[in-house]
């Protein structure tokens, strides 16, 4: 259960409106790696954690913080849209700056949200839960979380370079620092789990049931052998359970497939037209 306080976790006040930057900032609010994604991903992972130790608490702590980041970004975007102009673009284009503003704005910021933030990315795709996951396997999920903090911090850093507004930069520097912490944090949690489980997810599937002869084999399938120079091509495997080998021209291990004709009630192309039906395979 949640309680809300009206104060923001950190300031979210630009020096001046900038509706074009508002459009770009939507990416880290409602994009694939935006704050809605991390907030809901961590919360769902927390709620689905079976057992109630420190990892569940870690997920709930951090998911709750990300809700505060959603709030900061919404506030910043609404302020960047303060008093944004509307009007005839061709007319406006006579003043290049005004023309650039009108042409570069997200039209939905004026038509749909009335100068407010939207749960969407920088080109207007609505946020979708297809971005996130909670698998029940924390090592898999913490790797996903580390990924999202990495991609997310990368995007915020790029946005930092796209504006001169000191208020905006101040807020972004907060988000960047929190992403630094969160990368460190998931990294630490991953290390804890890897120490107990080794690195391959899931750790509890019996290794003897997998096709072990190809479990440490590198297949070179794109002509050129630059990839033979990586750590993955020779030496002990990272899980210490095998030895990397490098295969330069990997052959197929299976045969040319043949699939039986469909029954007539499927109305597929009739078999006699597909021809070449071999007598004894299948």
User: Residue 227 in 3-state DSSP?
Assistant: helix
User: Least distance (Å) from a second copy to the CB of residue 151?
Assistant: 5
Site for a second copy in 19-48 (CB under 8 A): 20-21, 23-24, 27-28, 30-33, 36, 40, 43-44, 46-48
Number of residues that bind a second copy (CB under 8 A): 207
Site for a second copy in 118-177 (CB under 8 A): 118-140, 143-144, 146-147, 150-151, 153-155, 157-164, 173-174, 176-177
Q: Is position 273 an interface residue for a second copy (rule: CB under 8 A)?
A: yes
Query: Which one of 38, 184, 279, 280 is in contact with a second copy (CB under 8 A)?
Result: 184
The greatest distance separating any two alpha carbons of the chain, rounded to the nearest whole angstrom, comes to 78
User: Residue 246 in 3-state DSSP?
Assistant: strand
d(CA 126, CA 254): 43
State the DSSP H helix or E strand holding residue 108, giving kind and residue range, or none if neither.
Answer: helix 107-111
Q: Rank residues 111 and 280 by Cβ distance to a second copy and give the closer one.
A: 111
Query: Which one of 22, 35, 38, 106 is in contact with a second copy (CB under 8 A)?
Result: 106
User: Least distance (Å) from a second copy to the CB of residue 136?
Assistant: 2
What does the per-residue mask of binding to a second copy show for 51-90, with x meaning CB under 8 A? xxxxxxxx-xxxxxx-xx-xxx-xx--xx--xx--xxxxx
Integer CA distances (angstroms), 208 to 54, 127, 220, in order: 32, 41, 25
Q: Closest Cα to residue 79, out of 22, 27, 122? A: 22
d(CA 167, CA 164): 9
Residue 67 backbone dihedrals phi, psi, to 5 degrees: -60, -35
Site for a second copy in 191-230 (CB under 8 A): 191-193, 196-197, 199-205, 209-230
């Amino acid at each position: 259960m949640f309680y809300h306080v009206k104060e923001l976790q950190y300031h979210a006040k630009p020096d001046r409106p900038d509706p074009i930057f508002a459009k770009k900032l939507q990416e880290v609010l409602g994009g694939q790696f935006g704050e809605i994604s991390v907030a809901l991903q961590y919360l769902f992972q927390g709620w689905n954690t079976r057992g109630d130790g420190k990892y569940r608490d870690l997920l709930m702590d951090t998911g709750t913080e990300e809700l505060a980041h959603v709030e900061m970004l919404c506030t910043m975007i609404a302020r960047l849209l303060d008093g944004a102009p509307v009007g005839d673009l061709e007319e406006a284009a006579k003043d290049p700056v005004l023309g650039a503003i009108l042409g570069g704005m997200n039209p939905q910021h004026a038509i749909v949200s009335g100068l407010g933030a939207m749960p969407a990315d920088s080109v207007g795709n609505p946020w979708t839960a297809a971005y996130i996951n909670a698998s029940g396997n924390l090592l898999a999920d913490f790797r996903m979380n580390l990924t999202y903090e990495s991609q997310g911090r990368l995007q915020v850093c790029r946005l930092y370079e796209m504006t001169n507004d000191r208020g905006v930069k101040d807020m972004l520097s907060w988000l960047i620092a929190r992403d630094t912490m969160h990368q460190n944090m998931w990294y630490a949690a991953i290390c804890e789990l890897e120490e107990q489980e080794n690195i391959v997810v899931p750790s509890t599937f019996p290794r003897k049931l997998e096709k072990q002869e190809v479990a440490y084999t590198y297949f070179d399938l794109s002509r050129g052998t630059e990839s033979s120079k990586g750590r993955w091509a020779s030496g002990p495997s990272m899980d210490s359970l095998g030895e990397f080998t490098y295969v330069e021209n990997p052959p197929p291990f299976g045969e040319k497939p043949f699939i039986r004709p469909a029954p007539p009630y499927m109305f597929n192309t009739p078999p006699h037209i597909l021809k070449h039906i071999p007598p004894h395979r299948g």
